[in-house]
A = this chain, B = another copy of it.
């Protein structure tokens, strides 16, 4: 079977690098174009990019010439790791030119006709694609987005909880790694021996994105889930991995054992369809008193699993737990790849 040719938009940044690493030897996709801003255009990728991922740059990427950001490229599927301000226009142009854009950028996540997709949570939101195409005159192109790197570690457990017990209120505090800010991103003088209790725009995303993802489609748009979320977001001196301290209020009573069971047994479309990037279980539940930990658990399920632990009663809401996800894999590039794998399995690609 021929692999689908794919372009990576914003290929030189930290998320672009993760796309290249994760698409190395992918069974369905083959990278045929690396796209970046004008400054990098025309250079070999190996020279244009300051590689900040631990494993080596794949040999095929090193010599590929970086191309400017234009939809005239050959290909069908584009992964977007563009900055939000650039993504706004460029992703529309690519979709209008017939590309399937699987985007990690925030620009179109909250557009009413754009799926904010987590394959285990809301695969039915793919029904927005024909609506999007019709409204925007996109032909065979479209935009599909994945959530913010902090949202993902919240919405996976919330979905399992919502289905089993109903969900009312959520209070979450994040401890986020520096790679979430891209490169050069967070200055070492700002974060060594420090905590920064503010990440621009992050709390708003964490408070709204999960409600769209958990919402239902009605009248050609998504009706957000009626739960309420409050977020505190912090930057900490870790390289990869966003850790969340979560308190939840449920509709219906649950025991700690029931909660752990529901989380551990949660499965979704990627597991049922056997998508190549799907972890065997989207949520791993650990029962040690001090897990998950950022460094030791971020690579669970090759960075695609969410690790939950410390399930215990909350004196204010009902239950407390800790959730950890790899922010540049499951929280960014891996999420967009899993979305594209779902599109392929659903014959939408």
Contact = CB atoms under 8 A, between A and B. Distances in A.
B239 A193 contact: yes
A150 interface: no
A132 B320 CA distance: 38
Nearest to A51: B296
Contact of A229 (B178, B315, B320): B315
A2 interface: no
A306 B198 CA distance: 18
Nearest to A246: B232
A316 interface: yes
Contacts of A243: 195, 197, 234
Nearest to A299: B54
A190 interface: yes
A329 interface: no
Nearest to A182: B189
Interface string A224-238: 000011101010111
A24 to B, nearest CB: 16
Chain A contact residues (Cβ within 8 angstroms of B): what range?
A: 35 or more
A186 B293 CA distance: 14
Interface string A1-45: 000000000000010000000000000000000000000000000
A130 to B, nearest CB: 34
Interface string A42-80: 000000000110111000000000000000000000000
A153 to B, nearest CB: 13
A191 interface: yes
B234 A247 contact: no
Given A196-B293, A237-B192, A315 B185 contact: no
A198 B288 CA distance: 10
B245 A189 contact: no
Interface of A: 14, 51-52, 54-56, 169-171, 173, 175, 178-179, 183-198, 200, 207, 228-230, 232, 234, 236-239, 241, 243, 245, 247, 289-296, 299-300, 309-310, 314-317, 320, 322
